[in-house]
Structure 1
Amino acid sequence: MRYKIAILILLNSVLLGSCASKKIKDASYLETSKESTIATPRLNVFVPRNSKAKQLPVLIFVHGGYWNSGRKGTYDLLGRNFARKGVVTVIPDYTLSPDMDYDGMTKQIASVIQWTKDSISKYKGNPNAVFVTGHSAGGHLGALAVMNPKYGIDPKSISGIILNDAAGLDMKHYLEENPPTMDHNYIATWGTSPTKWQDASPIYFLNKNTPPFLIYVGDKTYTSIKTTNKRFIDALHAFQPGVQSVRLDKKHVPMVTQYFYPWSDRFDEVIGFIKSEMK
């Protein structure tokens, strides 16, 4: 009986989300290469249906999955739930390891950000109120795309970054203690050079222009994620002394699946952060 009730509640939330939002599916953000045998990734956009606002805040969500798994379609409910609450939401796919390393993935996420800045006004989005979020590996890629200057994104053009149980914030520290192996395609993703690992780590690109952060960490998550977030927040305090992690009594995967349910308190928190940082 409880299972049936849970399914009915979930179906109801799906129907409500569908009525309240419109999904633009598989928009192109990269040029298609005829030579490549790898499918060119695309993105979905979720737009509030009945909003009277001319410009709405924008949230780019980057999915996780050890940098070698995951797909945008898994997160439709997240996109619809934010859209029904007045936030235009962009959810991309990106090429996964071993077909691409962290650098290529981050270049693609930077292209998503640039596409959003250039195109989101067509979908009622405000290009001057763009926020980047991601879960696990997605938190790493989103932060790195904004913070490492080689990817060409002006950090001052991003209104805020929301990390959801983010991994990889200091890959140099992690991989020096846990050298990469074939597990999870880590050698393909990170290579074997400490110089590369530092280049892959957002912690080394913190500065006075770094966008404001909202950081969530699960109390029951992986030890490596707790460690990397503590190191990152300690370093961030030189520039944003008031930032503390929001700790939740959850494991790693439920940290993102909570957004599949429209009644989650996280929506009010995230939207409150968005409103406080809009320029």
Structure 2
Amino acid sequence: MSSKFLQAFTLAFAALLAACSPIKVLNALTPSSTFTKTASIAYGDDPRQTLDIYRPSKASPNAPVVVFFYGGSWNSGAKDDYGFVGEALASRGIVVVIADYRLYPQVRYPLFLQDNAQAVAWTYQHIADYGADPKQLYLMGHSSGAYNASMLALDARWLGEVNMSPSMLKGWVGLAGPYDFLPIDNPDVKPVFFFPNSPPDSQPINHVSAAAPPSLLIASTSDSLVNPTRNTGGLAKKLRAADVPVEAFYFTKTNHATLVASISRPLRWLAPVLDRVTAFIQATDSAGSNARQSPTK
């Protein structure tokens, strides 16, 4: 793509986003031929405890499954807004679960993590009915959703409450996640974590151990909301020190919001986020398969 065309396209698309809801624009431009959707399956009793499943139209038997958690500072968000994520991953042969969960002020830390764990447990128990292999289970999230994914992957308490453990995950993916954010600056987030008495055990970076599943961390160098050096860089460093397989990528053309938006078809030229996620899942699944086939030494 030439620089002049790219500049013109960027300006035109920016004008479109300014005139409309960015999420609605992305979803309106998302094709529906690549997946079939099963909507609003209850995994709990609360109206917010529901999930959607996106199945590839050309699914392979025993496909991997990704449970995706959206961001919104634990104050906002809806699974229906992230159809473009479901479509993108489904187009790569991955079954996708996008879960709603309770938000502030209905709940505070750690109750939304308990919702997330329930959604993961439902997926593990039922996803074989939708063509996926529960032994190829991945978590993924953006922003506060990446925090949620990281806490389930690193802090065994939450999956333990639903008779699971992080060892049952093949890996997890964090996009622009806050993993080390005390003391809290964001006024929207302060009440969620009981500021100024925010518990240290709420921080993912404090739960790193050698037992953590493989990780893929992606961030934007120009992220002004979540510091990529402290959060993505700091967590990657600690995971490496614990000998946990981790990949970290930083992209320059995206910001905090457009990092996840670059998964959508109209914005993939911004960064190869979808390619990185797909490659990570293929690599970890292949490594796991090889390990299962290799004799014990």
Alignment TM-score, normalising by the size of structure 1: 0.85
The whole-number CA distance in structure 1 between the counterparts of 2:34 and 2:244 is: 38
How many Å separate the matches in 2 of 1:12 and 1:71?
A: 16
Inter-partner Cα distance in structure 2 for 1:54 and 1:262: 29
1:134 touches 1:140 (CA, 8 Å); kept in 2? yes
Query: Which letter maps to 1:30?
Result: G
Matched, 1:14 2:30: yes
Q: Is 1:24 the equivalent of 2:25?
A: no
Structure 2: distance between partners of 1:275 and 1:165: 22
- Against the structure 1 CA distance between its residues 262 and 274, is the aligned structure 2 distance closer, same or farther, given a 3 Å change threshold? farther
User: Is 1:225 the counterpart of 2:227 in the alignment?
Assistant: yes
| Residue pairs, 1:123-272, within 5 angstroms | 123-151=130-158, 152=160, 153-167=164-178, 169-171=179-181, 174-175=182-183, 178=184, 183-187=187-191, 189-192=192-195, 197-222=199-224, 224-226=226-228, 227-240=230-243, 243-249=246-252, 250-261=254-265, 264=268, 265-272=272-279
Q: 1:44 aligns with which of 38, 46, 52?
A: 52
The alignment partner of 1:118 has SS state of helix
Structure 1 pair 243/40, CA: closer, same or farther in 2 (3 Å)?
Answer: closer
Letter in 2 for 1:203: I
- Give the alignment of 1:86-105 within 5 angstroms: 86-105=93-112
Which secondary structure state, in structure 2, belongs to the residue aligned with residue 245 of structure 1? strand
**Structure 2 letter corresponding to 1:274:** I
Q: Which residue of 2 aligns with 1:36?
A: none
List runs of 5+ in structure 2 lacking aligned partners. Answer: 1-7, 18-24, 289-297
| Aligned residue identity for 1:254 | T
Q: Tell me the secondary structure at the aligned position of residue 237 of structure 1.
A: helix
Structure-2 change in CA distance of 1:207 and 1:49 (3 Å): same
Q: TM-score, normalised by structure 2?
A: 0.80
Across the aligned residues of Structure 1 and Structure 2, the Cα RMSD in angstroms comes to: 2.5
Could you tell me how far 1:49 is from its partner in structure 2?
1.7
1:44 and 1:116 map into 2 onto residues whose CA distance is 11
Identical aligned residues as a percent: 22
What residue is the counterpart of 2:282 in the other structure? 275
Contact 1:97 1:185 in 2 (8 A): no
Within-5 A mapping of 1:53-132: 53-132=60-139
Counterpart for residue 20 of structure 2: none
For residues 149-177 of structure 1, what are the alpha-carbon distances to aligned partners after superposition, in whole Å with 9 as ceiling and x for unaligned? 2211411100011110112x124xx21xx
**Total equivalences in the alignment:** 259
Contact 2:141/2:173 (<8 A) preserved = yes
